[in-house]
Structure 1
C-alpha cells in the first residue's frame, strides 16, 4: 500500500506512553499509600475490612513496602494493558478503511461506505443500505478523524442522518425480523451487566439480521436499513 495515500489516526504517542508508564506508577503509589495507613485503619473499630488491613500491617519491612509497590505496579500494568487492548487505530485510504482494535482487524471497501459520523464517543461507518458497517468506541480527536476521511473523499456527516428512524426497544416489539427480539433481550442483559464485549458481538448478530441498534444509558433503540434513493 502506498503510505503517501494512507492517513492513520491513532492516539498520540505521548498519551500512549503516559498511560503505559503512568498507570503502573499510580498503582504502585496507591497501594503503597494503603499499606502506609493499614495499621491506623486496623485500629479503628468501625472500619470495614479490618482483617485484610491487619494482615497487611503485620507484614514486616522492607517486605511490606516492596510487596505493596510490586502489587500496585502489576495492577497498573493490567489496567494499562486493558486500555491498550481497547485502543482504536483508524487507517483511511482512497480504496477503503481499516479499523484495528483489540487485536481485531476489520477492512471495509470504499464502495461499501456511504458516510461517516461521530455519535458521541463512537465512530460510525454507514453502508450503502443505510445500515451500519461499524460502530466503535474511540478516544481519538474528532478533528483528526474528520480530516482523514475528508482528505480521501469520504462523506463526513455532522450527525446521524437516520437518528429520527430509531424506536425504543421493549421486549416483544413487533416489526422486527425473526430472532431479533431474543438477541435484543440478551443484549439488554449484557448492557445491564456492563459486558461491552458481549454487547458488541450481539450488535454484529443483529446487523446480520438487518437490524441497526444503538444504546443510550443502557436503553436500546433500533431501526431497519432502507434503500438509498
Structure 2
C-alpha cells in the first residue's frame, strides 16, 4: 500500500510509488502564474494608451511613433484588442516561467529531472554531491560532471531537506567552486576545441536557446571540463574524479 507523504507546498506524493517525492511548482503557484500574470498584462494593455496620451505632447519625445501608436486606440474594439494583446503576452510569460523550472522526482535509489527541452535520470549510487548554485539545482556524478543543472521554484532549504530525506549527499555549497576560472576566448588556457565549444555555448546563452546550452555543456564535459555561467559570462573547471 502506498504511504501518504506529508503535505508540502513544494512536494507531494508521487502516485506510482510509496517512496517517491516530487518537487515542482505547486498547484496554487501555477494558478497564480497562469491567471495573475495574464490579468496584469490585460490591465497594462488598458492603461498603456492612457499613459501614452499623457506624453505624446512632449516636444522632445524619443520613439515618438511608438507612443503615438500606443495612444491611438479610441474605439471600443481597439481598447479590447490592446487588453487582449496584454493578456496573451502575460500568458506567454507565465508559460515561460513554468517551463524554466525543473520538475524533480526523488526516490532513495534514483533521481529523475524534467526540464522543458531535456530529461535526466541518475542512480543514487552515481551521485557524489547535490547543492544549490544560486537558484539552480546542481547534481554531480563521481566524475564531477554536472549531470543536472537548472532553476527550481522551491526554497533551497526545502530542496535540501527532500534530498537528505532520500539519502543523497547534500552539500551547502559547490565542493569544486575554487576550481572555476572565467572563460576568455582565445586566452590559450584551454585547447582550441574546448574554446570553440564554449564560444558556441556563449552564443546560445545570448539567444536563450536552452536546448543548445544543455547540449554544448555536455560537449564540454566530453572534452574533460565543465562549465557554469553568470548571465552570459562563462566559468570553466577541469573534471575531477571523486
Q: TM-score range by the shorter chain?
A: 0.7 to 0.9
Give TM-score scaled by structure 1 length: 0.88
Change (3 A) 1:171 1:36: closer
Task: Name the SS of the counterpart of 1:21 in structure 2.
Answer: helix
Residue 193 (structure 2) aligns with: 179
Q: Which moved more, 1:217-226 or 1:136-145?
A: 217-226
C-alpha displacement of 1:173: 4.8
Superposed CA offset, 1:49-76 (max 9, x none): 3334434544442113211111111111
Where do residues 105-184 of structure 1 align in structure 2 (5 Å cutoff)? 105-174=119-188, 176=190, 179-184=193-198
Where do residues 73-112 of structure 1 align in structure 2 (5 Å cutoff)? 73-102=87-116, 104-112=118-126
CA–CA distance in 1 between the matches of 2:51 and 2:182? 49
RMSD of aligned Cα (Å): 2.2
Unaligned runs of 5+ in 2: 1-14
C-alpha displacement of 1:159: 0.8
1:15 matched to 2:15: no
Task: Name the SS of the counterpart of 1:140 in structure 2.
Answer: coil
1:195 matched to 2:208: yes
Change (3 A) 1:7 1:177: farther
C-alpha displacement of 1:117: 0.7
Change (3 A) 1:177 1:57: closer
Change (3 A) 1:108 1:215: same
CA–CA distance in 1 between the matches of 2:202 and 2:118? 24
Superposed CA offset, 1:83-110 (max 9, x none): 1221211111122111111153321122
Q: How many residues align?
A: 227
Unaligned runs of 5+ in 1: none
C-alpha displacement of 1:175: 6.3
Give TM-score scaled by structure 2 length: 0.84
Q: 2:233 aligns with which of 212, 215, 219?
A: 219
